[in-house]
């Protein structure tokens, strides 16, 4: 089983959380709570990988290090 880094952002308009997987272009999901958003992104990742494998487009790559942070000014 492989781990993927995710970015979780609160969306005021949606009044919930949006999750993006930078390593998987276009793979996003959302949920009203962080727990639900994380549950939904797992389903989205599995679906994304299944479609890419089906079409022979999946290239497994390893990212050695990634930093996701926040800066407040």
pLDDT for the residue numbered 71? 60
pLDDT for the residue numbered 38? 94
Alpha carbon of 41 to those of 3, 11, 20, 21, 36: distances in Å? 12, 16, 8, 8, 9
Residue by residue, what is the 3-state secondary structure of the chain? CCCCCCEEEEECCCCEEEEECCCCCCCEEEECCHHHHHHHHHHHHHHHHHHHHHCCCCCCCCCCCCCCCCCCC
pLDDT in tens, 17-32: 999 999 999 999 999 9
Tokens representing 37? 């958003």
Residue ranges of the domains in the chain?
A: 7-54
pLDDT for the residue numbered 65? 59
Nearest to 34 by CA among 13, 23, 19: 19
pLDDT for the residue numbered 60? 61
* Residues in the chain where the model's pLDDT stays below 50: none
pLDDT for the residue numbered 58? 80
pTM (whole model) above 0.75: yes
């Amino acid at each position: 089983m492989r781990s993927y880094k995710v970015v979780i952002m609160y969306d005021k308009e949606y009044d919930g959380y949006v999750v993006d997987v930078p390593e998987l272009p276009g793979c996003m999901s959302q949920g009203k709570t962080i727990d639900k958003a994380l549950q939904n992104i797992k389903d989205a990742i599995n679906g994304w990988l299944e479609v890419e494998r089906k079409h022979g487009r999946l290239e497994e790559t390893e990212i050695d290090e990634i930093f996701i942070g926040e800066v407040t000014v």
